[in-house]
């Protein structure tokens, strides 16, 4: 008996006091992904990268909104969403305590407004994403006019862009024919 007590004192405590005392977390532990709506541009990169289909997007054209959602019940804490996010809007935290009484409470949502096409006025992409792209494409523009043109194109829906391309090609064809007749 005395030998056993001695052994217990020698080996120390084998258990931790959790949940009555906080649990010490390892550095770089992969816990709950935290989403910051203000930073998110709803680009959908995380929805494509997520291997567990925990992140989804749903578009409501009538309301001109897109809803981003994450289901923590499906998340496997792999960190792919954090890796692909261009704006650091989603980051893994050290939070592990995700238990809830209701399954629905594991789903978190963020709603984004859609931008309307500059040409046809149809809602086509999240306004924040359009603004993000506009700033990038305008960066290397040689003139202010070119920057404005690039910004306008970025705020144009894919259908109107195609029409724009066709018009450009047609105009180029006419110009070439005029050039040929002059020769």
- Furthest-apart CA pair in the chain: how many Å? 112
Q: Which residues pair with 71 in a beta bridge?
A: 107
CB 57 within 8 A of CB 67: yes
Residue 106 is a binding residue for ligand SF4 (CB under 6 A) = no
Which sign, positive or negative, has the C-alpha torsion 161, 162, 163, 169? positive
- Three-state SS at 62: coil
For ligand SF4 (CB under 6 A), the number of binding residues is 28
Query: CB 30 → ligand SF4: shortest distance, Å?
Result: 7
The 10 Å Cβ neighbour count of residue 134 is 18
Rounded Cα distance between 107 and 170, Å, is 50
For ligand SF4, give the closer residue by CB, 90 or 115. 90
Residues listed for the chain: 183
Of 66, 85, 125, 150, the residue at the interface with ligand SF4 (CB under 6 A) is 85
Residue 79 is a binding residue for ligand SF4 (CB under 6 A) = yes
Residue 130 is a binding residue for ligand SF4 (CB under 6 A) = no
Residue 45 is a binding residue for ligand SF4 (CB under 6 A) = yes
Residue 183: CA atoms inside 13 Å, Cβ hemisphere, count? 6
For ligand SF4, give the closer residue by CB, 79 or 149. 79
Of 56, 64, 84, 147, the residue at the interface with ligand SF4 (CB under 6 A) is 84
Residue 127 is a binding residue for ligand SF4 (CB under 6 A) = no
Contacts with ligand SF4 in 133-172 (CB under 6 A)?
none
In angstroms, the first-to-last Cα distance of the chain is 112
For ligand SF4, give the closer residue by CB, 128 or 150. 128
Residues binding ligand SF4 (CB under 6 A): 33, 35, 40-46, 49-50, 52, 54-55, 68, 70, 75-81, 84-85, 87, 89-90
């Amino acid at each position: 008996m005395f030998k056993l007590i001695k052994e217990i004192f020698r080996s120390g405590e084998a258990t931790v006091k959790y949940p009555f005392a906080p649990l010490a977390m390892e550095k770089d532990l992969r816990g709950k992904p935290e989403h910051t709506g203000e930073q998110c541009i709803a680009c959908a990169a995380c929805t494509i990268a997520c291997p567990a289909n925990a992140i989804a997007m749903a578009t409501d054209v009538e309301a001109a909104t897109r809803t981003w959602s994450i289901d923590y019940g499906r998340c496997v804490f792999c960190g792919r969403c954090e890796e692909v996010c261009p704006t650091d809007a989603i980051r893994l935290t050290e939070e592990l305590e995700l238990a809830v009484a209701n399954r629905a409470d594991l789903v978190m949502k963020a709603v984004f407004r859609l931008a309307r096409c500059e040409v046809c006025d149809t809602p086509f992409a999240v306004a924040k994403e359009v603004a993000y792209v506009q700033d990038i494409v305008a960066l290397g523009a040689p003139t202010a006019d070119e920057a404005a043109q690039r910004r306008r194109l970025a705020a144009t829906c894919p259908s109107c862009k195609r029409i724009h391309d066709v018009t450009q090609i047609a105009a180029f064809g006419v110009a070439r024919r005029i050039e040929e007749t002059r020769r």
